[in-house]
Amino acid sequence: MNFRDPLASARGLGSAKTGFGHWWAQRISAVVLALLTPFVVYCLAHYGIADYAALKTQFANPLFSAACILYVLALFWHACLGLQVVFEDYVHHGTFEVILQVLVKIVFSFAALAALIAIVRLASGS
């Protein structure tokens, strides 16, 4: 017979109280992506990306550049959150999971930074 309190048995095994914040961040980034994807795709398809001069003209518009920056940030954030859930659910070796988590955060941070630099350089005309 186990006289231990069920709460004491579960302590340290349950929620770290961060699940709702993670869930909410993923939903917010999904809404931002759902709203901005048609706009970005339409603008790039309508105005064309065939030549560099037209692309620089497109990015010279501050509204489009800001939308692209927000889109890139939401895209990488959403992907990072999604991969975090995949690793937590399907990678059962603790050390390997942590390595994958850190690696994804580093790679996505550099990719987002590179995309932001490209957008700023196109917007500034340099």
- Residue-wise pLDDT for 17-51, tens only, equals 667 888 899 999 999 999 999 998 888 887 767 78
The pLDDT value given to residue 46: 79
Answer whether 82's CB lies under 8 Å from 26's CB. Answer: yes
Q: Residue 91: CB partners within 8 Å, gap ≥ 6?
A: 97, 100
The pLDDT value given to residue 58: 87
The pLDDT averaged over each successive group of 10 residues in the chain (126 residues) is: 67 66 92 95 79 85 93 96 93 91 96 96 86
pTM over 0.85: no
User: What are the structural domains, with CATH classification, of the chain?
Assistant: 17-124 (1.20.1300.10)
